[in-house]
Structures are given as structure tokens and as C-alpha cells.
């Protein structure tokens, strides 16, 4: 099968993934909060950015290699952390970490993933990033940092755009609970998705394994009241100082949209800022992530990581043109996995690389960073 002919774009992977994932899981993966205006705003704002093509510039051989946080990567792309990744596709964390290590790109493991840092860390080729939903209890906090560092994670991501649980109405309507409980309605959906069902039957119903050490099942009916939320606090600047003092590796703060926060984050000793609106899943009046990038770029010299709604190589170039150093994708890697199994992530990386190279050729530049300041907002 020629994958490039059958699945040339993320849209093709998404369509196939939807046919292979049960509906209630699809709603978890695909939904945002409120009326999903922020989700749409991300797409619209990316589409508004244009470049003037270049002519008569001779042959262009693009160079996508990028250094971030002291590591060299073959392309400026990584896999964003997704909670309950292994619910979306069986064994997702292991498959994604392995694919990322093979491609030489970073993989983010969520605190509320279905696998532990001990299992995933050794698979990441030293490029694993551990994403922290901040535990309230100082002992649990210290233990998680110890586990992440001891498992080989080089970088800690503190997510700050989830001070409270958001309401995701589509997710609520879908009947998904935490931990997932297979009611007859959900079972009927599972029965229509044999590959997912067989994989899940083989591995067991996924749950937040990293938290097993700290708490037993809460049995809540509300999908936003799971053990992850019960353990975590809403962090403040002192919490960040505590983390900086107790984490020797690189520290990244994820979920920043306000340029005014950048200097203070810099003072607090963080190593990079991750500009994100959580793909529209937290706050439906948030600006598009791409819209705030230039102001944050102007406010700090720290490396900037970007995500939210990237749907191809051109969007990666747009983000870099607006000031990002590195771009993470969350849902697309899960579409790829659900669509094509273990080979999906490599195919997605291939799509992104080809797409970036083709567009750099149109623009007559070798490196994505050569595009800084060249995008126009229409
Ligand atoms: C299903 C789902 C679960 C997520 N879980 C987490 C999480 O546990 N921790 C976190 O920091 N971000 C989480 N995110 C946000 C992603 O890390 C990332 O910011 C976002 O998905 C990027 O946008 P994209 O999916 O359009 O690429 C989640 C996103 C999705 C779609």
C-alpha cells in the first residue's frame, strides 16, 4: 500500500482514526470546551497567515534540523502529552515513545497517562519529557520528580492552563467516566470498533497508572473528578520556585498566552515557555495560540515551544515564522496511531517533513527560522 497516496494529509489519518475509535473515546480526543470557539479560532488564525512566495531563487535543499534545550532534533517537532493516551489507542504511550525515539524527537508523557514513567522513560532514547499536573502533597510531588528523573526523563513540563477542570460538554454527553465504565451504550460502540476492542481486551481497561502509587480508584461518575484532579493543586509562583529548586533538569512551563508572564517566568529560572491554549480544551474565550506568539517572542529570549491546532508542515512554518522554536502536536499523532497502528507516527513525521520541505522551496529558504518576520496577517 502506498501510504502517501492513501493518507497524504492529517485529514486522511483523522478520518480513518474516527472509523477505528469508539465514539465515546473519539469525543474525548476530539472535543474542546464550550462551543469550541477557541478550537476554531486556532484554525482561522493559522489560515490568516500568508507568505509572499519567492521566485528565481535556484534550487533549495531544506534543512529542518533544530536544537532545543541542548538536544539536536532532525525536525522541529515533538509529541505533546495526552492524558489517557492508552484509552485513545491501545498501548499508545509505548508506541509513541518508541516511534519518537526512532525519529529522534521528544515525547511528552502526561501525569495522567495510562503508563508509568518507569515503563516509558527507558523507551524515549533520552528525549522524554515528563508533564506534571502539580500534586498538592509535597511528598507525592517529590516522589513524582524522583520517579521521572530516575526513569530518564530529561525535561519537566509544568502545565499551568488547567487551574481547574474545564467543562467539555461533548465529553460529558458521550457518557465517558473516569475510570471508564463500559455501560451497555458504550459497549455497543466498542463492538463496532474491533481493532480497538481487541487491543484493549488484550491490555486491560486503561487507567492512570502513575497515580496507582498514591490513591485508589475514586469511582466518580463525573469525567472531570478523576483521581488526577483530586491529587492536584492549582499551582502558584511559589510552587514554580519550589519545582525549580527541586528539579535539576530542564523545566518548561506549558500553557502560556500572556506576554506579561514571560519576564517573570524567565526570572523564575524556567528553560523554555510553551505557548498553548490546550487546543481549545480549557477556556473558550482564549486567543488563538498563534495570535499571541509574536508578543511573547518580543518579551523573552527564552526558547518558545508552540502547540494548538497544527494540521501540517505549513502550520509549523507559520509558528516558527511568528517566533516559535519548536512545535508540538497532540491529536495528530493519535490520529496517526489509530489510523495506521505502530507505523502511523513515522508516516505523520514523513508527511510533516515533506510538507515543510515543499513549502520552504516555495519560499526560497533553507531553514524554517529564515522565515522569521516574513508572515503577513490577513
Ligand atoms: C485528549 C487530550 C488530552 C490531553 N491531556 C493533556 C495532559 O494530560 N497534559 C497536558 O499538559 N496537556 C494535555 N493535552 C493538551 C496537549 O498536550 C496539547 O497542548 C494539545 O493537544 C495540542 O494541540 P493539538 O492536539 O491540536 O496538536 C491534551 C490534549 C488532548 C487532545
Q: Would you say residue 183 has pLDDT above 90?
A: yes
Among candidates 133, 130, 159, which has minimal Cα distance to 147?
A: 130
In a domain, 285, yes or no: yes
Which domain, by its residues, includes 74?
3-365
Read off the pLDDT of residues 253-281 as tens digits, 9 standing for 90 and up. Answer: 999 999 999 999 999 999 999 999 999 99
Identify any residues that bridge with 130 across adjacent strands, giving them in sequence order. Answer: 109, 156
In a domain, 378, yes or no: no
In a domain, 265, yes or no: yes
Read off the pLDDT of residues 66-87 as tens digits, 9 standing for 90 and up. Answer: 999 999 999 999 999 999 999 9
Read off the pLDDT of residues 184-221 as tens digits, 9 standing for 90 and up. Answer: 999 999 999 999 999 999 999 999 999 999 875 444 44
Read off the pLDDT of residues 285-312 as tens digits, 9 standing for 90 and up. Answer: 999 999 999 999 999 999 999 999 999 9
Q: Choosing from 278, 334, 347, 378, which is the catalytic residue? A: 278
Task: CATH number of the domain at 250, please.
Answer: 3.20.20.70
In a domain, 376, yes or no: no
By most ligand atoms within 8 Å of CB, the mutation choice from 80, 253, 306 for ligand 1 is 80
By most ligand atoms within 8 Å of CB, the mutation choice from 112, 165, 281 for ligand 1 is 281
pLDDT at 221: 44
Q: Is the CB of 80 under 6 A from ligand 1?
A: yes
Q: Is the CB of 307 under 6 A from ligand 1?
A: yes
* Cα angle, residue 73 at apex, residues 72 and 75 outer, rounded to 5°: 145
Quote the CA–CA distance of 25 and 23 in Å, as a whole number. Answer: 5
In a domain, 149, yes or no: yes
In a domain, 370, yes or no: no
pLDDT band at 222 (very low <50, low <70, confident <90, very high): very low
- Poorest-confidence range of 8-17, 182-191, 228-237? 228-237
pTM score of the predicted model: 0.96
pLDDT band at 179 (very low <50, low <70, confident <90, very high): confident
Quote the CA–CA distance of 319 and 274 in Å, as a whole number. Answer: 12
Q: Would you say residue 180 has pLDDT above 90?
A: no
Does the annotation mark 207 as catalytic? no
Quote the CA–CA distance of 314 and 292 in Å, as a whole number. Answer: 18
Q: Whose CA is nearest to atom 13 of ligand 1?
A: 82
In a domain, 374, yes or no: no
pLDDT band at 232 (very low <50, low <70, confident <90, very high): confident
Q: Is the CB of 319 under 6 A from ligand 1?
A: no
Identify any residues that bridge with 304 across adjacent strands, giving them in sequence order. Answer: 273
Number of structural domains the chain divides into: 1
In a domain, 256, yes or no: yes
Atom number, ligand 1, closest to the C-alpha of residue 88: 1
Mean per-residue pLDDT, 162-189 = 90
Amino acid at each position: 500500500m502506498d501510504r502517501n497516496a492513501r493518507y497524504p494529509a492529517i485529514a486522511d489519518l483523522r478520518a480513518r482514526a474516527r472509523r477505528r475509535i469508539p465514539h465515546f473515546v473519539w469525543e474525548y480526543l476530539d472535543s474542546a470546551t464550550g462551543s469550541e470557539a477557541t478550537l476554531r479560532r486556532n484554525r482561522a488564525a493559522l489560515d490568516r497567515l500568508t507568505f509572499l512566495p519567492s521566485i528565481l531563487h535556484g534550487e533549495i535543499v531544506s534543512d529542518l534540523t533544530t536544537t532545543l534545550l541542548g538536544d539536536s532534533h532532525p525536525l522541529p517537532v515533538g509529541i505533546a502529552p495526552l492524558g489517557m493516551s492508552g484509552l485513545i489507542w491501545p498501548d499508545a504511550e509505548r508506541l509513541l515513545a518508541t516511534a519518537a525515539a526512532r525519529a529522534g524527537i521528544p515525547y511528552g508523557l502526561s501525569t495522567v497517562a495510562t503508563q508509568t514513567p518507569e515503563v516509558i522513560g527507558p523507551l524515549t532514547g533520552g528525549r522524554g519529557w515528563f508533564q506534571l499536573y502539580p500534586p498538592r502533597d509535597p511528598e507525592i510531588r517529590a516522589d513524582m520528580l524522583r520517579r521521572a528523573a530516575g526513569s530518564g526523563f530529561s525535561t519537566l513540563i509544568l502545565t499551568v492552563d488547567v487551574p481547574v477542570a474545564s467543562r467539555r460538554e461533548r465529553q460529558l454527553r458521550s457518557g465517558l467516566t473516569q475510570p471508564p465504565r463500559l455501560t451497555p451504550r458504550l459497549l455497543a460502540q466498542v463492538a463496532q470498533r474491533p481493532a480497538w476492542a481487541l487491543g484493549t481486551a488484550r491490555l486491560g481497561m486503561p487507567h492512570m497508572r502513575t497515580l496507582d502509587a498514591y490513591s485508589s480508584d475514586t469511582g466518580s461518575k463525573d469525567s472531570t473528578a478523576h483521581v488526577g484532579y483530586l491529587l492536584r493543586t492549582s499551582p502558584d509562583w511559589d510552587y514554580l520556585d519550589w519545582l525549580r529548586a527541586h528539579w535539576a533538569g530542564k523545566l518548561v512551563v506549558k500553557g502560556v498566552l500572556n506576554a506579561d508572564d514571560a519576564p517573570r517566568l524567565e526570572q523564575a529560572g524556567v528553560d523554555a515557555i510553551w505557548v498553548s491554549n490546550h487546543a481549545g480544551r480549557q477556556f473558550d474565550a482564549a486567543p488563538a495560540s498563534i495570535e499571541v506568539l509574536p508578543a511573547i517572542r518580543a518579551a523573552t529570549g527564552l526558547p518558545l515551544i508552540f502547540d494548538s491546532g497544527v494540521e501540517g508542515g505549513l502550520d509549523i512554518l507559520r509558528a516558527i515564522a511568528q517566533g516559535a522554536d519548536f512545535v508540538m502536536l497532540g491529536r495528530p499523532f493519535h490520529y496517526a496511531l489509530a489510523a495506521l497502528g505502530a507505523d502511523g507516527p513515522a508516516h505523520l513525521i514523513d508527511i510533516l517533513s515533506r510538507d515543510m520541505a515543499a513549502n520552504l522551496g516555495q519560499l526560497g529558504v533553507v531553514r524554517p527560522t529564515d522565515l522569521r518576520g516574513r508572515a503577513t496577517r490577513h
